[in-house]
Structure 1
Amino acid sequence: MIYVIGVGPGDPELISEKALKIINKAEVITGWKSVIERFNFDNEKKKEVIPLNYKEEKNLLEIVFEKAKNKEVAFLDHGDPSVSDFELMSKLRDLSRKYNVKISFIPGISSVLASLAYLGIDLSKVIFITYHVRGPTEDIKKYLNCGRDLLIIPSPYPDGVVSLAKELEKNGCGEGKITVMQKLTYPDQIIKEYKVKELSNSNEKFSDLTIVYVSCGDKNE
């Protein structure tokens, strides 16, 4: 059995009680190394910890599912497994069928919800877009004409936010405002507001744990 567990955006107090119970009883812990490092499994001698990395992802996932045939596995996923992680979740579903292993998804609080709480905005008032796995932002124009502000997970590269700002400026949103929220709910979270054209012309680099709020003013009215 494998449990895919949303462990929240960073603050350990935002992990659900159900998630913690499953993690505590699991015999095998896996997930991206950066997520596993949020927990302390050093003294858990009864648990096998298998950190994933991009280079060995395919092979390591095969190993994980082989173990899940007769052990309980907890796959720790940042935020919520159903928010902006569809490529990985599709791989896990395919592997569950290949290995005939049951899979269960445990929801968590995502950075989307954390950002809305900070901004004081309801999800129904924005358009949510993720470029976390698909990267290119050329289709941003169609969303700018929908009459709502945008909540965007940019591509997870240091220049992902600036690339997004360039596309926004190119499509008439240069005078708009962009709020960049890095590592929300972590002790070292950083939140800063920019003018889109200011950010477009900068060389700033940002964390891969970033979500942005875009308001283009008159363009969306």
Structure 2
Amino acid sequence: MEIFPISLKLQQQPCLLVGGGHIAYRKALLLAKAGAIVDVLAPEIDANLLKLVQTSQGQYVAAAFSTDFPLKHYRLVIAATDQAQVNQAVFETCEAQNILVNSVDDPPHCRFMVPAMIDRSPLVISVASNGTSPVLSRQIRTQLESTIPHGMGKLAAFSGKWRSTVKAKIVNPDERRIFWEDLYASPFKEQVFNDNLAEAERLIELALSEWKTPKGEVYLVGAGPGDPELLTLKALRLMQQADVVIYDRLVSEPIMDLCRRDAEKIYVGKARSNHAVPQEGINALLVNYAKQGKRVCRLKGGDPFIFGRGGEEIEELFAAGVPFQVVPGITAASGCSAYAGIPLTHRDYAQSVRFLTGHLKEGSPELPWQELVYENQTLVLYMGLVGLEKICQRLIEHGQRADMPVALVSKGTTPEQKVVVGTLADIASQVSEHHIQAPTLTIIGEVVRLREQLQWQG
């Protein structure tokens, strides 16, 4: 994040615009709407801009900018001329005096940016691109405008009137957040939107009178194979309302960025022979946080019920009397094969698919080999990279063709996705050659041949 978004309170605060034309006028409109006192410094001034300056109780100074112009009492300065050298001089002078400064359409000479805004006062939403693409910011604003009801401003104002009352009744800030979330999910919001304020008052009073300390709950959420756009809507909603997020090694950073920003985040990732927290410890964390009244998101890569130990965790929650929800995720077999262009089933090549774990027990593969040697099925191995050579050998020993196609999909669905194709006879030797790293999914079967024709990603 290259910029830090803030919301400035500019009511009755002096702000300076350098420039008197239409560029300055556009910025002056925003400043005046925010309640600022707008001064303008320019040799000439547009008539509409002059009127706006006077309405804001500001002053017009009919002069060109000079480095000795007094700036110290201004909250911020905007250079809005059509002369690059003047805008640069304004920037350098403000920088020397630690004054917030913006040069219109000149990102290198900006200490702050003016974002694209959606005004639902007192609710204001801004979209910024660090000056790299203001047109894109405006397009996103347009998209958001169509999805955010105009009544949101009324809802924010109404809620503000009740804020101190709710704070006095519900002292714990975590509980207070849950109260507001539940209230906004109730008919209360629509009553405010429709100006039925008496009914809205009744509903919020009722909610306060019936308020009880909420019980903790655990959300067992599948985060999918890595691409954040593969999250389900329910997964995203629960991730953003959880008080605590307990996450695995396979949950990608972009997905973690979608969790509630102020949630407590606890890493319990497992790598081979390196468990940050043993499974028993994870189970205890889930139970303990839930019994503290927390909403806990147990975030797992892929799907929690496919080699994710989700069943073990909810058994523990059930035994402890902790409420829970399970949200399926796109498992790695489905996501990675799709992004690699390899259909797991195909009428001409595979009428069944089998998911297996490649983890070795005491260094020896423990798989039902005879059942796996079948021409028209696809085998998908999770966590099989370390034991890949032994697995390939065993399949060949039990009768599988040495030239059976195999694909390795490393870091599937992410920007770092890498796919290597070979055969049972040679795929293990390609791991080091192509620097394949975990997490890697192994796909064995004739369907792998289709990748050459169907690949579309990575």
TM class by smaller structure? 0.7 to 0.9
| Alignment correspondent of 1:61 | 283
**Does structure 1 conserve the Cα–Cα contact (< 8 Å) formed by 2:408 and 2:440?**
yes
| Mapped pair 1:109 → 2:330 | yes
Q: Which residue, 231, 239, 242 being the options, matches 1:23?
A: 239
Number of the residue aligned with 2:261: 44
| Counterpart residue number, 2:297 | 74
Please say which of residues 116-125 and 24-33 is displaced more in the overlay.
116-125
Kindly indicate whether structure 1 or structure 2 has the higher relative contact order, using CA contacts under 8 Å at least 6 residues apart: 1
Whole-Å Cα distance in 2 between the matches of residues 48 and 73 of structure 1?
A: 9
8 Å CA contact 2:336, 2:413 repeated in 1? no
Letter in 2 for 1:81: P
Q: Which of 342, 367, 389 lines up with 1:162 in the alignment?
A: 389
1:177 and 1:98 mapped to 2: Cα distance? 45
Query: 1:94 Cα shift?
Result: 2.3
The structural deviation recorded for 1:121 is 4.1
Q: 1:215 aligns with which of 445, 448, 452?
A: 445
Following superposition, the deviation at residue 76 of structure 1 comes to: 0.6
1:118-157 → structure 2 map (5 Å cutoff): 118-122=341-345, 125-132=351-358, 136-145=365-374, 147-156=375-384
Q: Residues 36-84 of structure 1, C-alpha deviation per residue, up to 9 Å, x if partnerless?
A: 6441379823x11121142532224312311112111111111111222
1:169 shift after superposition? 2.3
| Structure 2 CA distance for aligned equivalents of residues 104 and 42 of structure 1 | 17
Task: State the 1:161 CA deviation.
Answer: 2.5
- SS of residue matched to 2:398: helix
The whole-number CA distance in structure 2 between the counterparts of 1:36 and 1:115 is 14
- Measured in 1, the distance between the counterparts of 2:267 and 2:336 equals 28
CA distance in 1, matches of 2:268, 2:411: 21
- How far 1:115 moved relative to its partner? 3.9
Name the aligned partner's letter for residue 427 of structure 2: L
Q: C-alpha separation between the residues in 1 aligned to 2:413 and 2:353?
A: 22
Equivalent residue number for residue 320 of structure 2? 99
Identical pairs, percent: 19
Contact 1:134-1:155 at 8 Å conserved across structures: no
Larger radius of gyration: 2
Whole-angstrom distance in 2 between the partners of 1:114 and 1:56 = 27
> Which residues in structure 2 correspond to 1:76-91 (within 5 Å)?
76-85=299-308, 88-91=309-312
1:171 maps onto 2:401 in alignment: no
Q: Could you tell me which residue of structure 1 aligns to residue 30 of structure 2?
A: none
Q: Provide closer, same or farther for how the CA distance between residues 4 and 49 of structure 1 changes in structure 2, counting only shifts above 3 A.
A: same
Conservation of the 8 A alpha-carbon contact between 1:178 and 1:215: yes
CA distance in 2 between counterparts of 1:170 and 1:191 reads 26
Structure 1 contact 128–152 (Cα < 8 Å) conserved: yes
The verdict on how the C-alpha distance between 1:193 and 1:106 changes in structure 2, with shifts beyond 3 A counting, is same
For 2:403, what is the secondary structure of its paired residue?
A: coil
Give CA-to-partner distance per residue, 1:145-170, whole Å, 9 cap, x none: 3x4232322435x4232232222222
The DSSP-based 3-state class of the residue aligned with 1:104 is strand
**Alignment RMSD (CA, Å):** 2.7
More strand per residue = 1
TM-score normalised by L of structure 2: 0.42
Aligned positions, number: 212
Equivalents in 2 of 1:84, 1:56: separation in Å? Answer: 17
Unpaired stretches in structure 1, ≥5 consecutive residues: none
Q: Name the CA distance, whole Å, in 2 between partners of 1:18 and 1:51.
A: 22
Q: Which amino acid aligns with 1:99?
A: A
Aligned AA (1:92): E
Does the 8 Å contact 1:175/1:216 carry over to 2?
Answer: no
Amino acid in the other structure paired with 2:389: V
Q: Is the Cα–Cα contact under 8 Å of residues 225 and 336 in structure 2 kept in the other structure?
A: no
Q: Distance in 2 between matches of 1:189 and 1:179?
A: 13
Q: What SS class does the counterpart of residue 22 from structure 1 fall into?
A: helix
The match for 2:111 is: none
The 1:98–1:131 alpha-carbon spacing in structure 2 relative to 1, beyond 3 Å, is same
- Tell me the TM-score normalised to structure 1 length: 0.82
Aligned residue identity for 2:307: S
Give the 3 Å change call, closer, same or farther, for CA 63–167 of structure 1 in structure 2: same
